[in-house]
Amino acid sequence: MEPIIPMEPKRSEKIPAGDEWIAQIKWDGVRVLTYYDGQAVRLYNRKLNERTSHYPEITNIKTYCDAKSVILDGEIIALGPDGKPSFHEVMRRDGVRRTEKIARMKRVVPITYMIFDVIFYNGIWINSYSLSQRNQILSDIILPNNQIQLVSSHEDGQALFKVMKQYGMEGIIMKRLDSQYIIGKKKDIWLKIKNYRDLIAVIGGYTLSGGIINAVLLGLYDDQERFLYIGHTGTGKLSQKEWKTLTEVLKPLTLKERPFANKPERQTDVYWAKPIITVKVQYTEWTEGRSLRQPSLQAFVYVPPSECKFSKVQEA
């Protein structure tokens, strides 16, 4: 059972209405597909990187799924101090690279697997079934528990989005009830409507306060492979400890010449850095000068810098 590239929703500014659509919460987590061939369970993210050892809580599939073989699609989430899903927290789990740390992180950052689709069931590919049929199969075979939940569906997308805005959550996904699961594709039969925007950017510089980084300069690559400055920020969800860690990581990457092809508006007391470290950035909108308005750091991510392009911003 080889891992597949999951289906993705298209971005939309409008929320469709009608009986043919359902709305689901867009969870601010990590996409993970569960593969069970009847003997072993494997977990893979949407980039086809294996995550089986990262999340032992969900590998005992017989405790929550009544299937002889199955491929499940869902989102791993972790809650922040405010009780809301936190991408920053879940990346603390997903970013673990040493297996001996997993047991501790399991206690420090508990996770929940939010299951929203089934693609393969009891030896049969059911991705051509309608979403309503697949949802029925899910409800029949999944037994929720503290760490396994089924994503609920809502008829009124406008009402659900209003709640997401009220609680400052990421947004919603709208899906057609007759939609097939089209492997490896992004189709407008699934739509994502975000309460705020985000992207993955590369750090190309920083400033210091008391020897610790207090702000970073961000960039993206254009189609000519030029690294372009898009803004700077010293706000976000990083803890003081993580700012110190970032300082230790970036200082050895310091450059004499600026890596940006364009000239940042902020250059006083800036230290340039080799563009290697990637971060998830939340922002409100783009300015006319192609820079971010009110950017804030959400988490470190493990994405090749070469993939951080203007042309891929809509995929963040």
Q: Could you tell me the CA-to-CA distances from 36 to 60, 61, 71, 102, 216 in Å, in that order?
A: 10, 8, 6, 22, 42
Q: Which fold has domain 8-194?
A: D-amino Acid Aminotransferase; Chain A, domain 1 (3.30.470)
* Inter-residue contact 44 to 171 (CB < 8 Å): no
In CATH terms, 197-315 corresponds, of 1.10.1370.30, 3.40.50.300, 2.40.50.140, 3.40.50.10800, to 2.40.50.140
What's the pLDDT score for residue 285? Answer: 78
What's the pLDDT score for residue 315? Answer: 46
Is pLDDT above 80 for 189? yes
Is pLDDT above 50 for 314? no
Q: How many CB atoms lie within 10 A of CB 29?
A: 24
Higher per-residue pLDDT: 22 or 92: 22
CATH code 2.40.50.140 region(s) in the chain = 197-315
CA atoms within 13 A on the CB side of 148: 21
CATH code 3.30.470.30 region(s) in the chain = 8-194
User: How much of the chain is helix, strand and coil, in % rounded to 5?
Assistant: 20, 40, 40
Model's pTM, two decimal places? 0.79
Specify burial of residue 133 (Cβ count, 10 A radius: 0-12, 13-18, 19+).
middle
Range in 69-78, 140-149, 190-199, 251-260 with the lowest mean pLDDT? 190-199
For the residues 93-103, what does the mean pLDDT come to? 88
pLDDT band of residue 243 (cuts 50, 70, 90) is very high
What's the pLDDT score for residue 196? Answer: 83
* Inter-residue contact 285 to 225 (CB < 8 Å): no
Q: How many CB atoms lie within 10 A of CB 225?
A: 9
